[in-house]
Amino acid sequence: MPGRKPTAEDLTTFKSQLQAMLGLISGDISHLRDDLASGGGEHQGDEGERYFQGFNLELLQHDESTVQELLDALDRIEEGTYGRCAACGVWIRKDRLRAVPHARNCIECQRGAEAG
Ligand SMILES: [Zn+2]
């Protein structure tokens, strides 16, 4: 069952949610960058520390793509295309947007993409 076009009120809500997520993730990234730039502190050479640095890098890459997703979603709000599935054009259901405010695709298309 397709959703409905988001109202101006919905857009305001999603916009502030996107901006809050963006602020949170951007803050995390600059924090991680500081950690990485400091070279891991005084625990260099430690096996556990090396593992932890690798983990941080993966997290950083993941977050940078999420930042782009969030920025794109904010662009779509400005353009008036926010909430519309990029693949099939139906309005994405609001419960999905609440869970994933930067979702590009409706749940049906997302499932299709994941299935291959
Ligand atoms: Zn779709």
Whether 20 and 107 have beta carbons less than 8 Å apart is answered as no
For ligand 1, the distance from its centroid to the CA atom of residue 29, given in whole angstroms, is 31
Read off the pLDDT band of 23 (50, 70, 90): confident
The domains of the chain, with CATH numbers, are 8-115 (1.20.120.910)
For ligand 1, the distance from its centroid to the CA atom of residue 84, given in whole angstroms, is 8
For ligand 1, the distance from its centroid to the CA atom of residue 112, given in whole angstroms, is 9
Whether 91 and 5 have beta carbons less than 8 Å apart is answered as yes
pLDDT tens profile 104-113: 999 999 998 8
pTM for this model (two decimals):
0.69
Distance CA 32, CA 56 (A): 7
pLDDT tens profile 61-93: 667 788 899 999 999 999 999 999 999 999 999
